[in-house]
Amino acid sequence: MRPAQRRQQGLQYGVFLLLMQAMNFGIDKIPPATLITIIAQVSLYIGLIKVPWNAEEACISAIKVFKYRDWNSFIVSNFEHGSDMHLYYNMVSLILKGYYLEPMYGTMNFAVLLAILSLGCSAMYASLGYGLMQLTGDFGYYTQCAIGFSAVLFALKVIVVCEEHDRMQNVGGLRVPSKIAVWVELILIHLLVPHSSFVGHLGGILVGCLYCYTFVGEMIDNIVCTVTGAPIIHEEQFYRRRSSYFR
């Protein structure tokens, strides 16, 4: 997520970069739900999908959720983007995470999981904004508006780490253990991209942790299975991490 900015519709440089990256990766290698999600967000950004709002109106904030009950922004803020490069970096990240997780979970399961994570990230962002405002007295946390898929991507990154064996990862040129890679990335993005939404990214990490390490994840898996009729199959180490959380 990042603070909302007015966008210019049409084919911009970031969209062309994304197309080239997708072609280099192999469009046929991108799983269906991941590909459809990317196409939908690109189409929304460039104006092929006509909607009765703009990016500024779609941004989410704690005040819009708790005071004005703006459920439209609660749902769509994750899928809007403030700039072409914002869209580019997010969709390239989604390609990599979807390529790993979607074949493992199944296309329908992954699609439903994305929807649940999106709603969870919106709820977490609004809750953090309200909580931080109460804790610090800074009203800016309550009113800061953000858009973008970054929070969901941070949640997915946590899930990927939980599914993988522990290993070293390269984050901004730093070699760090996978278990702390997402936290290092959170800090680096905050330092290097000051206009990004630290609260939004933190919210995504917390949603991912809830899914991986607590009973909330089991509840989500049951919901997904109820909707699709097929269980989500995790790697063995995922279950070990979830079962050992409260030990």
CA-based Rg of the chain, rounded to a whole angstrom? Answer: 18
Nearest to 44 by CA among 90, 96, 3: 90
CB 210 within 8 A of CB 194: no
* CA–CA dist 3, 5 (Å, integer): 7
Of the candidates 154, 168, 171, which has an alpha carbon nearest to the alpha carbon of residue 212? 154
Distances (CA, A) of 150 to 6, 7, 202, 216, 247: 18, 17, 10, 21, 31
- Give the strand pairing for 168-171 and 174-177: antiparallel
Catalytic residue numbers? 150, 201
